[in-house]
Structure 1
């Protein structure tokens, strides 16, 4: 007969078997975390795979989003403070409101305020101090012409607001892009073409329609604002030339204001003395008592602060993009300003005014479209050329087959390579910061070099 089964021994063996299996199961999980050939890894579920959102957040796209957000911030800041400054100037100089009849004097004080704030910024933040500064010769022959054009632009613009409405002023100032293109042709920042000349003619037709049916037309104010527009086109073209020259030390916006504002203040103070007269200014009702004088001074200083913040936004925007991008973004600012002027000051627009404005804005938008299309073609061509050179170099071909390395176009040039897309100009600005997580392979380095030419620092 078989021996009797010991229940106690049998139960103990079963328990030991269960514990052994449990131990093996527990030990298998850590192995799966370290074993690349684990079945758990090879047969991973969809939940373990990166989502589409995670796949989209590549370093390139992160840099693109970051740069777009920065550009949008400066555009919004420029819109806001420029609109506030336009409303402030109209309220300050029009006879129906504060009626301060000395716009050239006010503009000169604004230059002093901007110079003070810029100097304070450079003093408190050493990192933004430019390593170089313009020589006396450069200041007289390069900086001063830009300061003179800026002074005439600001002074004549404020002078025109004494007699014309804010909406009519804004519509006339929309012609600035036409003057920007004209001076860009003269300075060889833009190559003349039939299309660009046609855009200038479209803008001129729009301005003529706006003027032909203006309900409150004033010839003196119209001449002043159109002259200011011409000076504005010269101003921004000269500004771009200065910004792209690192040797001038004006690439920093605060440094630019610091060096430009004194010359602008001197020009405006001389014009104010000749046109308005200081005895007339300080003998007016605005300076009769100490209280009146303090209130007037405070009112003028507020405008200076608005002007400083607005110009800082302008310089940051043009530094990251270009002067034409600034003009194109002005489309929406002008529409917003006209809308606000109808609400605040009760300005009236006729059908002909509106048609003329639409034609002018169409011309500006058409230029933007042409520039974007040309930018896309140039970008594809540059990347293709760089890839071709890389392929030739990888096959150990001779250097004579390679084109000489490009020194790069001007940083702030109006050519298409400097502004590939309106809102994402300078999208690769922070690319180097965002690529730290990538492998430092030769392919990555070559790929990064291809993008460096589009980097707007």
Structure 2
């Protein structure tokens, strides 16, 4: 892939992803200010994603694929998919609920703490080895979040607890999802297949909280069941449907971004997306920050950027050391070494093809979520197994 083609592809797919992600964040913030049923809306989003994935799977099976779509057995489904789906449901549900109480800026910065929980769960589940760089990232993000919320004039404790709880569950969610997508015997490498299998679990996982928290208010609301005119019902349906469409487009856009560029590109792009979201929040919603809050936001961004940089350096060093390993199916002999990944002149920088191979669609990933917005980070285990998928618990 030439540099020009790569840049055009990044700009086009990045713009699509950024537009869907930022639009959905502000749309949800606007919607939940007056329509106080975030869990119900999220539940409908999950059903829409399942329906969309089912339609796409059917079309792909009829037009593009000779093999039938993947369908998991119940044992594998309950053992592997259900825990990740339940964590995802609570993560996104709590994230959307927090938008009723906190500003978009605090929401964005608080969700950066998901990286911390991803690293912690990855170490606990032995997907990552504890390193000094991990501690540096944790300290930067945690310290930055503390400064960003310190004496904030728009701080809401209840909303902050909700979004931090969502980040905790998001860390667990993406580590569990990594373990699912990296197993050959499960076969959920295709993001559409993953969405198709996870969305029903996510909807069911949120069903009980919807009834317990929003069931009675929703049944008495004049905007839902006790509407006084068909126009009110149509307006409410249209608002919820538009959000569901944005959520589904966001899911497709982020998968396309990773597939056609790289997870590293999305990680770096996610940082700029957060900065752009905060700028728009100050312009549109008039979010206010003190100097200390801005310093805290800078530390959070620095922590995310450091995490991306450390992972990229670690991945490259692993390939430098293990490039000639017979476990790497793309290197046919030890004499090839990194020569199969990099340009023949070892003194030159890696080619764009090599960067894609190191960080792109062929790599596995740990993903941290910002509600329904995701940022993807290359996993250490991917480098241990070169370009192959691993089959361990």
Q: State the TM-score, normalizing by the size of structure 2.
A: 0.78
Q: Deviations over 1:302-328 (max 9, x none)?
A: 111110111122334456788776555
- Is residue 2:150 matched to residue 1:216? no
- Structure 2 equivalent of residue 364 of structure 1: 304
- Structure 2 equivalent of residue 102 of structure 1: 37
- Structure 1 equivalent of residue 220 of structure 2: 283
Task: Tell me the CA shift for residue 379 of structure 1.
Answer: 2.4
Q: 1:342 is matched with which residue: 282, 300, 306?
A: 282
Contact 2:46 2:199 in 1 (8 A): yes
| Long gaps (5+) in structure 1 | 1-60, 393-418, 430-452
Q: 2:252, 2:85 → 1: CA distance?
A: 16
Q: 1:79, 1:173 → 2: CA distance?
A: 16
Q: 2:181 is matched with which residue: 243, 255, 273?
A: 243
- Is residue 2:19 matched to residue 1:84? no
- Is residue 2:228 matched to residue 1:294? no
Q: Deviations over 1:158-182 (max 9, x none)?
A: 1111111111111111111111111
Go from structure 1 to structure 2 and tell me whether the alpha carbon gap of 1:388 and 1:264 turns closer, same or farther (over 3 Å shift): closer
- Structure 2 equivalent of residue 444 of structure 1: none
Q: Deviations over 1:91-150 (max 9, x none)?
A: 0112xxxx1001000000111111111111111221367653322111111101111111
- Structure 1 equivalent of residue 111 of structure 2: 173
Q: Deviations over 1:274-296 (max 9, x none)?
A: 1111x421421313222101110
- Is residue 2:314 matched to residue 1:379? no
- SS of 2:359's partner is coil
Task: Tell me the CA shift for residue 354 of structure 1.
Answer: 0.6
Rg: which structure is higher?
1
- Structure 2 equivalent of residue 139 of structure 1: 77
1:5-404 matched pairs, under 5 angstroms: 61-62=1-2, 70=9, 73-94=12-33, 99-126=34-61, 127=64, 131-277=69-215, 279-287=216-224, 288=227, 289-317=229-257, 326-383=266-323, 389-391=333-335
| Long gaps (5+) in structure 2 | 337-352, 364-385
Contact 1:240 1:323 in 2 (8 A): no
Cα RMSD for the two superposed structures: 3.0
Q: 1:132, 1:388 → 2: CA distance?
A: 31
Q: 1:264, 1:115 → 2: CA distance?
A: 10
Task: Tell me the CA shift for residue 88 of structure 1.
Answer: 0.7
Q: 1:425 is matched with which residue: 355, 359, 374?
A: 359
Number of residue pairs matched by the alignment = 342
Contact 1:112 1:261 in 2 (8 A): yes
Q: 2:68, 2:13 → 1: CA distance?
A: 21
Task: Tell me the CA shift for residue 373 of structure 1.
Answer: 2.1
- Structure 1 equivalent of residue 368 of structure 2: none
